[in-house]
Structure 1
């Protein structure tokens, strides 16, 4: 026997406008959309005419049954407007609270992004109060309620970090294939910092690239130590080892060692599990930096670093040097320290030193600390040559950086630079300074001949090193990617 279905649309669940006139009820604007009495503000759980009528008859019929027709309609509208005003007041207060919290979160995010102390939140609030007091004084009371104390900023940043971690974890769960990149370096406090980057793709070919973790290693930094940190990072994001397709590392022994290095330990783990061993790559940017270090520029770099240290290491010398540059209205206002760990620093230091060579010579003479090489035209030619060559390499380094670069794009940049080296070599032989701005400038200031024999040795050495590091390895890498990488 077929059961008789209830007519839900006719008797309940859907609010009818006539119930307002009959029983003084309106539908709530909240998500649940329950019926609410405009007289006592009570709600009815089940939006059914019987329930509304019973509520009205038992609680309000004796007082409101006297209202008829137009008078009843006006009374209902008055009560409805009163209820709406109360709801809007609470809704506005909730909206303001949400906005204040959002402002606090955004300020905390900016402080963390810029690496500022947490207590700077109070300074930001003072600046906001000064601006609001001038532009819109009526909003001063509202802005005073923004919480930017040190503890609040710390708590906000912690919440933002947890939220970002949650978002990344959600994305990594959808990875079908992923690769990792690791970089280990020592900071100013002699603490080893291991950075692990992850890049993956899901079934819809959406690529996600994020910094997965920063691990401080206070003890040893052997391959086993780094491998342990890597395991913890992958476990935190629930990343399956079987989906790992590529590992990018630097050339350190603790990373690239075939037996006890990270590469060897990962290979052993995959082979013991019977899984396909991922592709191991040496960071392209790191290899490019090693190519430059292969070229011996010590004859120029050591004197430059010595002079820069004299100018910068003593506060008095540095202040006097900067004042001297301001007095003569020099285009450059200072020289930078040379730091070997920063790959772009060498080119910047040489270029700054070349531009300020005359000013530095005069200043050193006034300080009774003359540098004879600054009067040697042959050495200045070498300075100009290396400044131009390293600047070209720095430009390549900047092109290799950035997000969402595919290996084929990087390979194209390397090939283009190798072709450029051939052009630069021919220009060196012809004393053509079209691509050598420092050499071109110095050629107009000296009668000393361009040291062609010395110059033509620099480019071939650099060209040979690029050929050794990239020709075989990059070709093999591209072929491996084409064979092993499969889209689902």
Structure 2
């Protein structure tokens, strides 16, 4: 009997050990499987960030990892790597899940922000479908952040349709129009401001500068159009471009190709015209006997005007590049730069009238090399164009500059003069702040918006007034960058792609918590590819 009892005890002990062993195996398998799924999220995020096709995970990434692991560690580890699910559909699903998480996180932050502002624009994708792109700027953890709010297809692109798309999204996500204090766009002003009357509407500074630059006297417009036709004649035909490249190489030219001119939102003309001037001898030789454009290139007056246009558009480009990066700057810094450019236009006008050409390098070089004395009519045309640019800048920016001048206390709160339009409470806070020595010492060491964020607790009325001016976007540059990303994502080979989630993960500044996304979607985890 005792022997039988011992046997039964041994039997159940062995079963217990087997069960524990099985649990360990299952637990080990689950851990491996979860690690593989987590890896698939991380890889899918990288695919989205790079704007690559979803199939690249299975077609390139996974085989490459297997090759590397096999070469360095052996076949056993390769078997573990094979567990990572990276099929086209899996990667697409991971991207959708992470984009949804990033959107939810963004909305949570914007809801917590006392104020937010928008920039929006619309453009067409590779299918010719209009896409509305909206970015948001908000306050989070005592700093200003910017991110993509949404991207949606629209059919007609009217102001009413654009407003309805934004209004629907804002209401769906629980945001409040009353907290929106700035909208930067190229249009739809009236209909949007009906919903948010306190918002500061800003006409994109990039767009305004582009409009300023388009005003050209007739003779300069003729030169520009001819130059563009010359470039396009060579550049848009592959055979012509290759033959021209070969000619430039044989002549030992610094450049071997022209730059293609397109009517883009950011000025491209400066570089295009400068390259044409630099290669004008090569272009003249190449076009001989092929086209009537050669007569223009042999005309010194034409080249004089061309060199001036190359120089002035290059200067406009420099301003444009600053404005493209102006999301890091406040509206006061943007207008300071524009105001300075307007003053330089008048300086250059005086120089031209006094026979000094050193302000326009390409023009001066051509004059010196050819020992020319520009005719009065050409100098007069240049002077007229510079005045025209100055007047156009006044027309597009002057009113806004006057308004900002009345808000100068924001960028210099330590002045003695109190704004007459300010409330008594805000005036009291401004007096207190202006006499705070420690703040005065730290003011110049901080970016303007960061300074006002740092005093929000002690001077709430002043902060409210200042942030409503500083928070709005001054350009729609983020939208322009977003459209560039859209073009790289939705190619002719991926023209059926639902753009929204892929674009969000490519451009969002929110760090996606892949672990949190995986946990949220744990019930969908499975080992299949």
Q: Do they fold alike, i.e. is TM over 0.5? A: yes
Query: What is the aligned counterpart of 2:324 among 401, 406, 425?
Result: 401
On the 8 A contact 1:172/1:237 being kept in 2, the answer is: no
Cα distance in 2, alignment partners of residues 176 and 284 from structure 1 = 26
Q: CA deviation at 1:168?
A: 0.7
Q: 1:380 to 1:223 in 2, by over 3 A?
A: same
Cα distance in 2, alignment partners of residues 432 and 454 from structure 1 = 15
Specify the alignment match of 1:416 in structure 2: 340
Unaligned runs of 5+ in 1: 1-59, 65-78, 256-261, 271-275
Q: Which moved more, 1:135-144 or 1:401-410?
A: 135-144
Alignment deviations for residues 36-65 of structure 1 (CA, whole Å, 9 cap, x no partner): xxxxxxxxxxxxxxxxxxxxxxxx9x989x
Query: What is the aligned counterpart of 1:214 among 126, 146, 151?
Result: 151
Q: 1:283 to 1:422 in 2, by over 3 A?
A: same
Give the SS at the match of 1:466: helix
Query: What is the aligned counterpart of 2:170 among 230, 234, 242?
Result: 234
Q: CA deviation at 1:174?
A: 0.4
Q: 1:335 to 1:90 in 2, by over 3 A?
A: farther
On the 8 A contact 1:185/1:194 being kept in 2, the answer is: yes
Give the SS at the match of 2:396: helix
Give the SS at the match of 1:399: helix
Q: 1:147 to 1:287 in 2, by over 3 A?
A: same
Q: Higher relative CO (CA 8 A, sep ≥ 6), structure 1 or 2?
A: 2
Cα distance in 2, alignment partners of residues 396 and 153 from structure 1 = 42
Q: CA deviation at 1:375?
A: 0.8
Q: CA deviation at 1:164?
A: 1.4
Q: CA deviation at 1:116?
A: 2.4
Unaligned runs of 5+ in 2: 1-5, 11-15, 411-420, 423-460, 465-529
Cα distance in 2, alignment partners of residues 391 and 293 from structure 1 = 14
Q: 1:457 to 1:201 in 2, by over 3 A?
A: same
- What value does the CA root-mean-square deviation take over the aligned residues? 3.3
The TM-score with structure 1 as length reference comes to: 0.71
Q: 1:154 to 1:426 in 2, by over 3 A?
A: same
Q: Does 1:281 align with 2:202?
A: yes
Q: Does 1:105 align with 2:28?
A: no
Q: CA deviation at 1:386?
A: 0.8
Matches within 5 A, 1:61-460: 97-121=33-57, 122-137=59-74, 139-187=77-125, 189-201=127-139, 205-218=142-155, 220-250=156-186, 255=187, 262-269=188-195, 277-296=198-217, 297-365=220-288, 367=290, 371-402=294-325, 403-450=327-374, 451-460=378-387
On the 8 A contact 2:210/2:265 being kept in 1, the answer is: no
Aligned residue pairs total: 395
Q: 1:171 to 1:375 in 2, by over 3 A?
A: same
Give the SS at the match of 1:487: helix
On the 8 A contact 1:285/1:400 being kept in 2, the answer is: yes
Matches within 5 A, 1:2-41: none
Task: Report the structure number with the largest CA radius of gyration.
Answer: 1
Alignment deviations for residues 201-223 of structure 1 (CA, whole Å, 9 cap, x no partner): 25x533221121122212x2222
Give the SS at the match of 2:62: helix
Cα distance in 1, alignment partners of residues 243 and 101 from structure 2 = 49
Q: 1:424 to 1:364 in 2, by over 3 A?
A: same
Cα distance in 1, alignment partners of residues 27 and 251 from structure 2 = 64
